[in-house]
């Protein structure tokens, strides 16, 4: 893969999509395959296992590169930063049985489709591959693999009606069915044996197997058996969990795979069949009553009310309208723009009501089948989750490789020592391999996840559910949270506050709610009664909360039970609203809602065509006031419209504009376009809704602000309302100014203008894109440097800035706080732009329009408990933003726990490794029970209990470090290794200098003491020597020595010291004494260890391969350990200060720090790459409240990214050395 790929050897799959991949063609070669098989046999399967882990090596070894057209094997590689490879075999699908003659060949509907372009002649076969449940076929003409199971995007609206309006023929349907496969979202329950094999072949367990075999070879039976039992238990628990998940997922989707549906066959009429026979292009007929949709389909006639809670998380019924028969050359999706979803019925959603129009039955064309559907995509995201890119995991792997290199040095040392002393080759190999199992702790991966598992349980108890545990650690790094407004910061329900009617170009007196007097009959009343998408479902009025409140204020009721005759249009099913029992007297029997143009986030409005029973047809529109006013005739809009709107939005009210017009009689409703209907309207007035802040909103935002976590509002509401809510909530301080950023495209040109307007002033300054933008840069910099500004902008302005003023966007985002009138796509884009500035972004929302942003954020927090929360990593049971600081607290605790566990496991293995290497110098080692005690009784128990410590209740204004390879953490590990090494070497050397020490006589110390105390007993020297030799022969197994006893006791208790020192409490976790289990475990383990130090029980010492030493020496060992504990306790908190110093660097504007900065700046000048002073000193003066990332520096000062990276690295170094100065 190193050279240039052969011609047509490489292509891209799903180009531009989220699951984009690179695809390479290969052809199997016989001689290569034979050599590989020989390699499998000679390596006893090791080569096959390696190829299982690395599929790309398997392909490169067995195959030769070729064009994709000739390939029988393809190699796929993801285009993200992970570059994951997968291997797929090309398969052939035969359609010869279906196409016997030219007359059987697919008809006109197929001529420009992938189905006709994929069939090879004369073999009548189709070449295909299957990737992540999606089938791709080879397009003979385009020379590339294309997805099947979807209707091609190039079809226009009119083409869909014309080609598929009458359905497919039986032959076309059969050909498509064979090529596409069944319309099922089939998630088979994975057999236990498959799960077992997959789990056992995990590299971690393979390493465990290698370790166990080695330990059995060394007669280390007890620990090997314990590891086997623990590994089997872990494997069985994992397999059980995976099996249960597989069963749950299977049950979730199986109900949708076998539904009876009615389809329309070209020239053959209607036909009933099972849903798994459906193919793209089929004409689906939707009957009355509830229907579960088995595929994605485009509605082409009639209207549907759909419950999309499975996808969007909102149980509000959604109205679907038919695809217009627009006669143009644009593809249907491009023609419909962001509103294309209003015409699409999604798989897995429930049609709760259908309304036929004058064209007869409600019909829909099958758009996508199987795993290509919206539900299929959701299931695939569960089956194939996107890998997490987090520095901790990358650093952990790198550190593991360092330990492997460390072990390699130990292996070389071991081979040299034992070989030079004439040991047998087999023994030398075993001892050398044993070093790997000591230096690289097999439990390290498990230790890293322990904290996450316990955190997940704690979150569950607090009502926060997590479906992506890997993201918990990311929550500990969040420094910016995007909040939706309605339902998230404010109450979900709206209260109707008042109505400001307009007549003859003037606003009238406001009508307040609730009021003693009822609203008078007129156009405004009719608009409130009919301009909604409410339905009666299960005996209750269902729909948007705003619509419900507005309609309830009229005291009318919905009669949704019968068909109604409409003049000139035959019989159709329509909704009728009538006066209710409490309604005031009106001159009409009721009003019929004939047609709806549903609310669109992109258009920011909705409209209905309604008719008084026996009266004329009228259009009623409601939506964003600015948008509605634009659609009205200028003479009907009051001159003080903007000032009145500002008056109410500035108070935080949600304001809705109302408008209407009469329709010409005799026009067919189906012939009317939305543009025609929503033009030349008459402005009716403003509906004012009150949206109160939730009780917990302000305290939570204050807590985040105190922790220096930015809060940003991203909403679809009016910008003035959003700014007011932001001020009331505390996002914007009363002393700070809000600058409104307005960007507009200049009509008739490709350029744009941007306007800066402080909301408190009327002064406006214009900067054209054609002019020199130096003033723009200067003013932006002044605003940023003051730190007293907040930018606010609409979605439209954001889009224009992103397109025309790209260089300004990062600068605006750094101080942007309110983003209003944002569409779902713009919300996702905004989150991604923040991520490009090196922010760790959280997104908190509750609506369908938040789903995209919830998915792309580092941590998406859904306040909805619907099935759509599958798209969000976290879901809160209580719809309150109080879950956000809770999640950050737990994330920080989990991250620190992961670091503590990592450091402990690394130190434990290194301590043991150093002790063993010291003893290898004398051809000695630890005994089996000594290893067993350290590995099981000490480390395993500590590993389980250390993570019990909960999160600290207060959020501090800095974050824990996110990477292992950082100076403070590395120094912590290195210093503790040096302390341990020094203590062990000291003990190892000093014990040899003791007067009672003997290299050959392991009983000399205690016996000489006894003899001295008994005044030299009468036992003869010879007899005594014989007894000692006999005892030695009976009890010595080759491990016992004074060095062994000294080093083992020191290293074992040192493991306890390290566990205590590394168990950090404040500021991210609760104090260590609150973890009662861990403290009791440490006390118990320390008690046992001290008992082993001072006890003199022959049987116990014999079993543990220890020897008796004088009491004075034992006391000396305890003193050594106490000194090590004191030094570690003294140094470790100081290293914590270093971490804190590096994270809140901007809060240390002391003169030594400034001296350092000046020194760096001077050094740069000497090197000839000086940067301006303003790169450093505003940062030090506290402008950013936290150490800035490279992207922030680049955005704020307009330097290149490489210079920004250098600057950021220098700042980290500066603060690191500043901390060392403090330490000294």
Please give the model's pTM, rounded to 2 decimal places: 0.71
What secondary structure letter does DSSP report for 864? -
Predicted confidence (pLDDT) at residue 693 exceeds the cutoff of 70: yes
Per-residue pLDDT tens over the stretch 276-295? 888 998 888 888 777 888 88
- pLDDT: is 1166 or 52 the higher one? 52
Residue 914: alpha-carbon gap to chain centroid: 40
Per-residue pLDDT tens over the stretch 806-852? 888 888 888 899 998 887 778 888 988 898 888 889 998 876 567 67
Per DSSP, the residues of 762-824 read: ---EEEETTS-THHHHHHHHHHHHH--EEEEEEHHHHHHHHHH-TTTHHHHHHHEEEEES--H
The average pLDDT across 1044-1048 equals 91
pLDDT for the residue numbered 870 = 54
The 10 Å CB-count burial string (b at 16+, else e) for 1203-1218 is bbbbbbebbbebbbbb
Residue 833 phi/psi, 5° resolution? -65, -40
- Three-state secondary-structure class, residue 436: helix
- Which residue, 1073, 944, 1046, is CA-closest to 992? 1046
Predicted confidence (pLDDT) at residue 1196 exceeds the cutoff of 60: no
Residue 573, strand partner residues:
563
- Cα–Cα distance between 652 and 662 in angstroms, integer? 33
- pLDDT: is 1150 or 405 the higher one? 405
pLDDT for the residue numbered 658 = 93
**pLDDT bucket at 309, cuts 50 / 70 / 90:** low
Q: Which of 51-60, 179-188, 509-518, 583-592 has the highest mean pLDDT?
A: 51-60
Catalytic residue flag (residue 838): no
The average pLDDT across 638-658 equals 85
Helix axes 1042-1062, 883-920, angle to 10 degrees: 170
pLDDT for the residue numbered 595 = 83
- Cα–Cα distance between 1111 and 1006 in angstroms, integer? 9
What is the average pLDDT score of the chain? 78
Task: Verify cis geometry, omega within 30 degrees of 0, for the bond prior to 1067.
Answer: yes
* Helix spans in 604-741 (H): 625-631, 641-649, 674-677, 697-706, 719-729
| Total residue count of the chain as it appears in this document | 1224
- Cα–Cα distance between 814 and 132 in angstroms, integer? 39
The average pLDDT across 646-673 equals 80
Predicted confidence (pLDDT) at residue 1178 exceeds the cutoff of 70: no
pLDDT for the residue numbered 885 = 92
Token readout for 644 is: 């009145």
Catalytic one of 282, 296, 357, 484: 484
Q: E strands, 381-513, where?
A: 464-466, 480-483, 495-503, 506-507, 511-512
The average pLDDT across 245-267 equals 78
Sign of the dihedral through C-alpha 1144, 1146, 1151, 1155: positive
Residue 876, strand partner residues:
464
- Which residue, 312, 302, 305, 282, is CA-closest to 294? 282
**pLDDT bucket at 1029, cuts 50 / 70 / 90:** very low
The average pLDDT across 393-408 equals 79
Task: Verify cis geometry, omega within 30 degrees of 0, for the bond prior to 122.
Answer: yes
- pLDDT: is 621 or 224 the higher one? 621
The average pLDDT across 359-381 equals 84
Residue found under tokens 């987090």: 390
- Three-state secondary-structure class, residue 1221: helix
Residue 875, strand partner residues:
465, 862
Predicted confidence (pLDDT) at residue 1027 exceeds the cutoff of 50: no
Helix axes 967-992, 1111-1143, angle to 10 degrees: 170
pLDDT for the residue numbered 976 = 87
Residue 86, strand partner residues:
76
The 10 Å CB-count burial string (b at 16+, else e) for 864-891 is bbbbbbbbbbbbbeebbbbbbbbbbbbb
Helix-strand-coil percent breakdown of the chain, rounded to 5? 50, 20, 30
Predicted confidence (pLDDT) at residue 680 exceeds the cutoff of 60: yes
What secondary structure letter does DSSP report for 369? -
- pLDDT: is 414 or 1014 the higher one? 414
HSE (CB half, 13 Å, CA atoms) of 703?
Answer: 16
Identify the weakest region by mean pLDDT among 47-61, 95-109, 672-686, 756-770: 756-770
Angular region, 462: left φ>0, alpha ψ -120 to 50, beta rest: alpha
Question: CA of 164: how far to CAs of 174, 411, 897, in Å?
Answer: 15, 72, 59
The DSSP bridge pattern shows strands 789-794 and 816-820 to be: parallel
Per-residue pLDDT tens over the stretch 859-879? 888 887 654 455 578 888 888
The average pLDDT across 903-908 equals 86
The average pLDDT across 958-981 equals 81
Task: Verify cis geometry, omega within 30 degrees of 0, for the bond prior to 1115.
Answer: no
Residue 30, strand partner residues:
none
The 10 Å CB-count burial string (b at 16+, else e) for 519-552 is beeebbbbbbbbbbbbbbbeeebbbbbbbbbbbe
- Which residue, 383, 388, 482, 393, is CA-closest to 870? 383
pLDDT for the residue numbered 986 = 92
Predicted confidence (pLDDT) at residue 913 exceeds the cutoff of 70: yes
**pLDDT bucket at 28, cuts 50 / 70 / 90:** very high
Predicted confidence (pLDDT) at residue 593 exceeds the cutoff of 60: yes
- pLDDT: is 622 or 1027 the higher one? 622
- Cα–Cα distance between 731 and 713 in angstroms, integer? 8
Residue 788, strand partner residues:
none
Residue 1017 CB-density burial (10 A; 0-12 exposed, 13-18 middle, 19+ buried): exposed
pLDDT for the residue numbered 35 = 93
pLDDT for the residue numbered 1053 = 93
- Which residue, 414, 460, 469, 462, is CA-closest to 436? 414
pLDDT for the residue numbered 1137 = 55
- Which residue, 295, 315, 448, is CA-closest to 368? 295
Per-residue pLDDT tens over the stretch 194-223? 888 888 888 878 887 888 888 888 777 777
pLDDT for the residue numbered 1121 = 92
**pLDDT bucket at 1190, cuts 50 / 70 / 90:** low
pLDDT for the residue numbered 901 = 85
pLDDT for the residue numbered 1134 = 66
């Amino acid at each position: 893969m190193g050279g240039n790929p052969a011609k047509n050897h490489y292509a891209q799959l799903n180009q531009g999509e989220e699951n984009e991949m690179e695809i390479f063609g290969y052809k199997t070669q016989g001689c290569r395959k034979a050599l590989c098989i020989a390699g499998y046999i000679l390596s006893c399967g090791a080569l096959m296992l390696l190829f299982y882990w690395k599929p790309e090596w398997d392909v490169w070894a067995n195959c030769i590169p070729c064009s994709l057209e000739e390939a029988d094997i393809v190699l796929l590689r993801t285009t993200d930063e992970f570059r994951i490879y997968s291997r797929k075999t090309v398969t052939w699908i035969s359609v010869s049985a279906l196409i016997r003659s030219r007359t059987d060949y697919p008809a006109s509907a197929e001529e420009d489709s992938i189905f006709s372009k994929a069939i090879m002649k004369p073999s009548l076969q189709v070449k295909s591959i299957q990737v992540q449940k999606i089938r791709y076929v080879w397009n003979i003409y385009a020379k590339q693999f294309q997805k099947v199971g979807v209707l091609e995007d190039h079809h226009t609206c009119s083409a869909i009606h014309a080609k598929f309006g009458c359905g497919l023929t039986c032959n076309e349907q059969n050909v498509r069915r064979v090529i596409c496969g069944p319309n099922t979202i089939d998630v088979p329950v994975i057999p236990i044996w498959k799960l077992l094999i997959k789990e056992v072949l995990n590299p971690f367990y393979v390493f465990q197997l290698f370790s166990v075999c080695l330990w059995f070879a060394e007669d280390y039976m007890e620990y090997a058996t314990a590891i086997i039992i623990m590994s089997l238990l872990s494997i069985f628990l994992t397999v059980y969990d995976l099996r249960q998940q597989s069963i749950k997922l299977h049950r979730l989707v199986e109900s949708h795979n076998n539904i009876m549906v009615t389809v329309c066959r070209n020239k053959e009429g209607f036909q009933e069949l099972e849903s798994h026979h459906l193919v793209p292009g089929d004409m689906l007929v939707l009957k009355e009553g509830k229907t579960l949709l088995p595929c994605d389909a485009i509605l082409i006639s009639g209207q549907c009310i759909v419950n999309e809670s499975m996808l969007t998380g909102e149980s509000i019924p959604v109205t679907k309208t038919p695809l217009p028969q627009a006669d143009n050359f644009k593809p249907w999706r491009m023609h419909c723009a962001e509103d294309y979803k209003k015409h699409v019925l999604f798989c897995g959603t429930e049609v709760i009501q259908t309304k036929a129009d004058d064209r007869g039955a409600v019909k829909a064309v099958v758009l996508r089948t199987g795993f290509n559907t919206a539900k299929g995509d959701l299931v695939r995201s569960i089956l194939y989750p996107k890998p997490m890119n987090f520095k901790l995991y990358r650093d952990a792997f790198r550190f593991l490789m360092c330990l492997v290199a460390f072990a390699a040095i130990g292996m070389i040392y071991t081979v040299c020592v034992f070989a030079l002393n004439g040991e047998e080759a087999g023994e030398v190999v075993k001892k050398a391999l044993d070093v790997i199992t000591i230096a690289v702790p097999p439990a390290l991966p498990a230790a890293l996840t322990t904290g996450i598992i316990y955190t997940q349980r704690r979150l569950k108890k607090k009502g926060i559910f997590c479906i992506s545990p890997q993201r918990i650690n990311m929550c500990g790094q969040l420094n910016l949270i995007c909040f939706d407004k309605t339902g998230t910061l404010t109450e979900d329900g709206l209260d109707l506050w008042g109505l400001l009617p307009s007549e003859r170009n003037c606003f009238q007196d406001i009508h307040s709610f609730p009021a003693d007097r009822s609203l008078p009959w007129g156009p405004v009343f009719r608009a409130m009664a009919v301009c909604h998408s409410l339905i009666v479902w299960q005996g209750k009025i269902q729909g948007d909360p705003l619509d419900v409140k507005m309609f309830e204020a009229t005291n009318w009721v919905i009669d949704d039970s019968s068909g109604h005759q409409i003049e000139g249009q035959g019989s159709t099913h329509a909704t009728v609203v009538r006066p209710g029992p409490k309604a005031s007297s009106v001159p009409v029997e009721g009003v019929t809602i004939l047609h709806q143009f549903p609310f669109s986030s992109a258009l920011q409005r909705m409209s209905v065509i309604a008719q008084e029973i026996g009266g004329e047809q009228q259009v009623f529109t409601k939506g964003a006031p600015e948008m509605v006013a634009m659609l009205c005739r200028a003479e009907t809009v009051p001159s003080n419209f903007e000032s009145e709107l500002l008056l109410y939005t500035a108070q935080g009210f949600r304001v809705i504009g109302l408008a209407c017009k009469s329709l010409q009689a005799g026009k067919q409703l189906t012939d009317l376009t939305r543009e025609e209907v929503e033009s030349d309207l008459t402005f009716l007035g403003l509906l004012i809704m009150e949206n109160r802040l939730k009780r917990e909103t302000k305290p939570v935002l204050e807590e985040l602000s105190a922790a220096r976590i930015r809060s940003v509002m991203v909403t679809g509401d009016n910008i003035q309302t959003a700014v007011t809510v932001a001020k009331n909530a505390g996002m914007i301080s009363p002393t700070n100014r809000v600058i409104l950023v307005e960007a507009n495209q200049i009509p008739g040109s490709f350029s744009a203008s941007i306007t800066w307007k402080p909301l408190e002033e009327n002064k406006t300054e214009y900067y054209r894109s054609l002019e020199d933008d130096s003033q723009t840069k200067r003013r932006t910099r002044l605003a940023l440097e003051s730190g007293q500004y907040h930018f606010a902008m609409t979605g439209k302005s954001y889009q224009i800035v992103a397109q025309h003023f790209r260089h300004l966007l990062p600068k605006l985002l750094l101080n942007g706080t309110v983003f209003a009138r944002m569409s779902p796509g713009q919300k996702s884009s905004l989150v991604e732009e923040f991520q490009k500035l090196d922010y760790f972004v959280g997104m908190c929302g509750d609506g369908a329009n938040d789903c995209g942003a919830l998915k792309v954020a580092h941590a998406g927090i859904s306040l909805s408990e619907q099935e759509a929360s599958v798209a969000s990593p976290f879901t809160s049971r209580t719809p309150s933003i109080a879950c956000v600081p809770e999640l950050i607290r737990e994330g920080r605790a989990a991250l620190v726990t992961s670091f503590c566990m990592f450091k402990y496991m690394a130190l434990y293995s290194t301590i043991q490794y150093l002790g063993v290497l010291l003893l290898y110098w004398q051809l000695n080692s630890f005994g089996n029970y000594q290893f067993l005690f350290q590995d099981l009784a000490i480390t395993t128990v500590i590993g389980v209990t250390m993570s019990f410590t909960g999160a600290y209740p207060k959020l501090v204004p800095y974050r824990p470090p996110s990477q292992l390879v950082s100076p403070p953490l590395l120094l912590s590990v290195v210093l503790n290794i040096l302390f341990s090494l020094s203590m062990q070497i000291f003990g190892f050397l000093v014990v040899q200098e003791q007067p009672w020490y003997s290299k050959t006589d392991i009983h000399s110390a205690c016996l000489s003491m006894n003899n001295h105390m008994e005044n030299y007993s009468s036992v003869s020297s010879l007899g005594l020597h014989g007894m000692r030799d006999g005892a030695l022969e009976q009890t010595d197994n080759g491990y016992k020595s004074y060095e062994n006893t000294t080093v083992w006791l020191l290293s074992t208790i040192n493991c306890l010291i390290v566990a205590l020192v590394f168990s950090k409490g404040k500021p991210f976790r609760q104090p260590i004494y609150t973890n009662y289990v861990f403290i009791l475990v440490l006390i118990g383990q320390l008690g046992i260890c001290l008992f082993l130090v001072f006890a003199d029980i022959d049987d116990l010492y014999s079993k543990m391969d220890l020897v008796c030493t004088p009491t004075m020496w034992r006391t000396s060992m305890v003193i050594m350990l106490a000194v090590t504990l004191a030094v570690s306790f003294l140094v470790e908190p100081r290293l914590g200060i270093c971490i804190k110093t590096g994270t809140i660097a901007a809060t240390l504007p002391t003169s030594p720090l400034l001296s350092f900065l000046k020194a760096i700046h001077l050094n740069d000048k000497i090197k000839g790459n000086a940067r301006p002073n303003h790169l450093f000193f505003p940062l030090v003066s506290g402008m950013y409240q936290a150490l800035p990332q490279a992207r922030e520096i680049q955005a704020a000062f307009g330097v290149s990214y490489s210079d920004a990276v250098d600057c950021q690295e220098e700042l980290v170094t500066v603060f690191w050395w500043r901390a060392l100065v403090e330490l000294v």
